[in-house]
Amino acid sequence: MSDYSLIMTEKQEKILTAALTLFAKEGYTATSTNKVAKQAGVSEGLIFRHFKNKEGLLQAILQQGEARIKEMFIPILTSEDPKEVIRLTLEIPFSVTESEFEFWKLQFKLKWELEYNNPEKMQPLQEALAVAFQKLGYETPELEAEFIIVFLEGISTAIIKDNMSNKLKFKEFLVQKYKL
């Protein structure tokens, strides 16, 4: 598998942007490389030259996304303050910009369409949360951490689907609930 985190040409970026948009909107299975090529304004052959096939496109998108996820986790994983670890984690879904929504829609869609799930990407965050809850004296820190991870997935889904008009109030509620 190639490393797509390297510097890409403008055309490669256009291809990945078109693929992300179409995969998120229409689904991975329903989107052809021909459709991606038309959306990106390139030849289908160029897609094959850079990404080999449709799965290569998907892998490139997922690699870029997982790199973004790791960046989001750095301040959490490097914090020594347990309350800050929890607060920063709870703020994740509220800090995602609308320009990132298609990537997150694709993540959720892939869980169902291809039964794709990489639980290891959340493992460092879940472990950091468990340590934070343990430091704060919670009775079941591992369950608290797992609850937060599952809970955040639900909140993220609601935000991305634009079903959460009171995002800021909900964020404040969570900060108060955990006394952060």
- pLDDT at residue 31 tops 80: yes
- Determine the pLDDT at residue 116: 66
The domains of the chain, with CATH numbers, are 1-64 (1.10.10.60), 79-180 (no CATH)
72 — alpha (psi -120 to 50), left (phi > 0) or beta? alpha
Mean pLDDT for the chain?
A: 88
C-alpha to C-alpha distances, 134 to 9, 38, 75, 89, 137, nearest whole angstrom: 46, 52, 19, 16, 5
pLDDT at 17 > cutoff 80:
yes
Residue 116 or 12, more confident: 12
Which residues touch 127 (CB under 8 Å, ≥6 apart)?
A: 145
Better pLDDT: 50 or 104: 50
Beta-carbon contacts of 43 under 8 Å, excluding residues fewer than 6 positions away, are 37
Give the confidence band of 5 by pLDDT, cuts at 50, 70, 90.
very low
Would you say residue 2 has pLDDT above 70?
A: no
| pLDDT computed for residue 27 by the predictor | 87
Give the pLDDT score at 117.
65
- Ranked by mean pLDDT, which of 19-23, 24-28, 129-133, 175-179 comes out on top? 129-133
